[in-house]
Chains A and B, each alone.
Chain A
Amino acid sequence: DAGITQSPRHKVTETGTPVTLRCHQTENHRYMYWYRQDPGHGLRLIHYSYGVKDTDKGEVSDGYSVSRSKTEDFLLTLESATSSQTSVYFCAISGGTGPGDTQYFGPGTRLTVL
């Protein structure tokens, strides 16, 4: 299994509070991704990173920001959580030459916003 951990694994928070999710990898892969998964929507890309301090938006980036100050860590921040951001969040990594390379996923973080 690829060395990917996510923290926390479960979190319950209240509307309006800031939340930061962490993805940590030990594979030294260049690309890192944040997805959210909701019933009936499959996986939707929030943001991704193609190197340290290099990030870009995905399909559903509104309300989220990311940072990558080290190769191994990719942080997802909800500046002011809303109930619509209740979801399961997955981090993924890939090496190779582009985002089309094989992705390896973390175990997920279940976030509930009350």
Chain B
Amino acid sequence: DAKTTQPTSMDCAEGRAANLPCNHSTISGNEYVYWYRQIHSQGPQYIIHGLKNNETNEMASLIITEDRKSSTLILPHATLRDTAVYYCIVIPLSGSARQLTFGSGTQLTVLP
């Protein structure tokens, strides 16, 4: 069962903010929302994670709705190097790794 739903692809103009949505309507209270990205042929790279509060780091911001059923990853000033597949996953901090599931993600293409 897919625990998250993401659009298959999105485009964004270089220099503009990229807003990537993720639906996780069945998320449990102890599950975190994680975002990773994978640039072509490389291993996935951690971006950010959160539980219920909005989070920001040097790479991105994560906005989680109050009901926690969806979230948005924001890349404030997208560059060509941000072109990648972005994965949103939900996972309890403790528990079996069998629950780890990476779906197909969103292919973000940053256009010059």
Contact pick for A105, options B32, B43, B103, CB 8 Å: B43
Question: A57: which B residues are within 8 A, CB to CB?
Answer: 98
Report the contact-size class of chain A (Cβ under 8 Å from the partner).
Answer: 20 to 34
Among B31, B100, B102, which residue has its beta carbon within 8 angstroms of that of A99?
A: B100
Check: B44 CB closer than 8 A to any chain A CB. yes
Query: Would you give the 0/1 interface string for A40-58, flagging 1 where the beta carbon is closer than 8 Å to chain B?
Result: 1111110010100000111
A89 to chain B, nearest CB (A): 10
Picked from B34, B43, B100, the residue with its CB within 8 Å of the CB of A107 is B43
Q: Which residue of the partner chain, among A31, A45, A92, A107, contacts B98 with CB atoms under 8 Å?
A: A45
A92 to B43, CA, bound (A): 9
Interface residues on B, range: 20 to 34
Partner of B95, one of A45, A100, A102, A103: A100
Interface-located stretch among B11-19, B59-67, B73-81, B85-93: B85-93
Tell me if A99 and B96 are in contact (CB < 8 A): yes
Contacts of A99 in B (CB 8 A): 91, 95-97, 99-100
Cβ-defined contact, B91 with A100, below 8 A = yes
Tell me the chain B residues, 1-55 only, with Cβ under 8 Å from chain A: 31-32, 34, 36, 41-46, 49
| Contact status B97-A50, CB under 8 Å | yes
In the bound complex, CA of A89 to CA of B96 (Å): 21
Partner among B44, B45, B97 whose Cβ is within 8 Å of the Cβ of A45: B97
Chain A residues, Cβ within 8 Å of B36: 103
A101 at the interface (CB under 8 A from B): yes
Chain A residue nearest in CB terms to B95: A98
Interface pair B44/A43, CB less than 8 Å apart: yes
Asked if A31 contacts B94 (CB within 8 A), the reply is no
Residues of B within 8 A of A107 (CB): 42-43
Contact across chains for B98 and A100 when beta carbons are under 8 A apart: no
| Interface assignment of A84: CB less than 8 Å from any CB of chain B | no
Query: Residue B105 contacts which of A42, A58, A101, A104 (CB distance < 8 angstroms)?
Result: A42
CB-based closest 3 A-B pairs: A105-B43, A99-B97, A98-B94
